[in-house]
Amino acid sequence: MVNTSDLKSDDCKVLPVQVRPQVPLTQGQKMKVISDGDFQNAINSNSTVIVQFSADWCGPCKRLSPVLENFASTREDLSVFKVDVEQSQILAQQFEIKSIPKVVLFRNGSQINESIGMMNEEKLQNFIAQ
């Protein structure tokens, strides 16, 4: 790592990069936020993966996140991730995000199902069963 105190004003500064590990959610953990570069690793991280497309300003998104986290904490075969559509515009375009929250289900890395809007645990169970 470069010692920034040794740099002159004309030098470029090197800032450390924080790397987030891509591991499945375990009981008690929060939903992991992923970006364009993390996406493929995330959807292949477990046999069943739910990705919530959301934004910080979205009220229904904030209410849906704990429902997804609680549901995933009861299942070892399920991981949940969140994509901020304002930060990950490539993914937002790829998945044609026009309304949020949008939840997309992946099984073994392939998209299986999608839903827009709020979901309770019963609706999540049916969503995953399809």
Known catalytic residues are 58, 61
The 3-state DSSP class for residue 67 equals: helix
d(CA 57, CA 51): 18
* Strand ranges for the chain from DSSP E: 32-34, 48-54, 78-84, 102-107, 110-116
* Strand ranges for 27-109 from DSSP E: 32-34, 48-54, 78-84, 102-107
